[in-house]
């Protein structure tokens, strides 16, 4: 156990360097174009994410509708597996495209987790969340503009609790699903892993996209899979039906709790932040 805990005296010989914690309030960011460029990137990425994924969901439901007697209904369209691939694949693509600009969050829960992990400032976190929610609304708006009848008739891609499941089950599914995602984000971007596993080239967006894919496979039958408050909020705003709004709190509370647990687990257990803090406290007393 002692070997796993880096002490103050060992820090100078570490083969990796942790970036300094982001300040809680960093008003200097507001004077930099790179900051606004990152906010715009989050807006566009979330817009594209919702456009492709919700369009996939609507298309699947159109093809799957046996009442239409389409040839496509015999094979059921892309199916749940295809929907999960659409979500996971788009996250892989968009994180790859935007990671060097904004960090590629595309999800308020990821942003919240990284804020708790002191990876981003409060100002950046708040503006990212606003941009993500606005992007999600615009993405769903594009889908409705192109396929208004299908959009309204087939549920608008909105997240709702499936029949047969209580709200506690839905909340638990969202907490665990988001924990998997945010835990993967922390692990894939950990500077310690990047330094010590440099002989294993792992593209960070790949495991993040796979995490989204796997969680969708597990939770689509329960909640339709939120794990992203912006995704759920944007669809609810454009679809604007009571059921979507009644269940909306599940898709905010669940992901934010899951993200918080993942951030604390990674920072204070896996990276031994709690033990380091205790060691530092003892050395000063």
Q: Is the pLDDT of residue 216 over 50?
A: yes
CA 251 to chain centre: 12
Place 22 in a pLDDT band, splitting at 50, 70 and 90: confident
Q: Which residues contact 176 (CB under 8 A, 6 or more apart)?
A: 258
Q: Containing H/E element for 276?
A: helix 273-283
Q: How far apart are CA 123 and CA 36, in angstroms?
A: 12
Q: What is the mean pLDDT of residues 51-56?
A: 96
Q: What is the mean pLDDT of residues 112-129?
A: 95
Running DSSP on this structure, what letter comes out for residue 119?
Answer: S
Q: How far apart are CA 39 and CA 36, in angstroms?
A: 5
Q: What is the pTM of this model?
A: 0.86
- Cβ(91)–Cβ(109) below 8 Å: no
Ranked by mean pLDDT, which of 37-41, 194-198, 200-204 comes out on top? Answer: 37-41
- Cβ(109)–Cβ(255) below 8 Å: yes
Class of 28-62+76-152+161-272 in CATH:
mainly alpha
Task: Give the tokens for residue 276.
Answer: 């380091």
Q: What is the mean pLDDT of residues 148-165?
A: 92
Q: How far apart are CA 267 and CA 219, in angstroms?
A: 26
Give the pLDDT confidence of 240-264 residue by residue, as tens digits.
999 999 999 999 999 999 999 999 9
Place 137 in a pLDDT band, splitting at 50, 70 and 90: very high
Q: What is the mean pLDDT of residues 80-94?
A: 95
Ranked by mean pLDDT, which of 68-77, 162-171, 276-285 comes out on top? Answer: 162-171
């Amino acid at each position: 156990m002692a070997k796993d805990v880096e002490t103050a005296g060992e820090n100078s010989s570490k083969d990796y360097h942790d970036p300094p914690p982001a300040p809680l309030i960093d008003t200097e960011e507001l004077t930099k174009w790179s900051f606004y460029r990152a906010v715009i990137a989050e807006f566009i990425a979330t817009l594209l994410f919702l456009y492709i994924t919700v369009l996939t969901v609507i298309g699947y439901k159109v093809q799957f509708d046996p009442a239409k007697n389409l040839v496509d209904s015999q094979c059921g369209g892309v199916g749940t597996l295809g929907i999960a691939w659409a979500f996971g694949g788009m996250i892989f693509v968009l994180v790859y495209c935007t990671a060097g600009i904004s960090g590629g969050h595309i999800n308020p829960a990821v942003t919240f987790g990284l804020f708790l992990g002191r990876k981003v400032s409060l100002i950046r976190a708040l503006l990212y969340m606003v941009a993500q929610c606005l992007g999600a609304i615009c993405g769903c708006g594009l889908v409705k503009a192109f396929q208004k009848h299908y959009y309204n008739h087939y549920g608008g891609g909105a997240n709702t609790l499936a029949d047969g499941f209580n709200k506690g089950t839905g909340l638990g599914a969202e907490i665990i699903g988001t924990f998997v995602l945010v835990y993967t984000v922390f692990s894939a971007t950990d500077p310690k892993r990047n330094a010590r596993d440099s002989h294993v080239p792992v593209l960070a967006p790949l495991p993040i996209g796979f995490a989204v894919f796997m969680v969708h496979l597990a939770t689509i039958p329960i909640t339709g899979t939120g794990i992203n408050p912006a995704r759920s909020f944007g669809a609810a705003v454009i679809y604007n039906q009571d059921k979507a709004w009644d269940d909306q709190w599940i898709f905010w509370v669940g992901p934010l709790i899951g993200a918080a647990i993942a951030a604390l687990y990674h920072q204070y257990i896996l990276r031994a932040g709690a033990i380091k803090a205790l060691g530092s406290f003892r050395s000063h007393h």
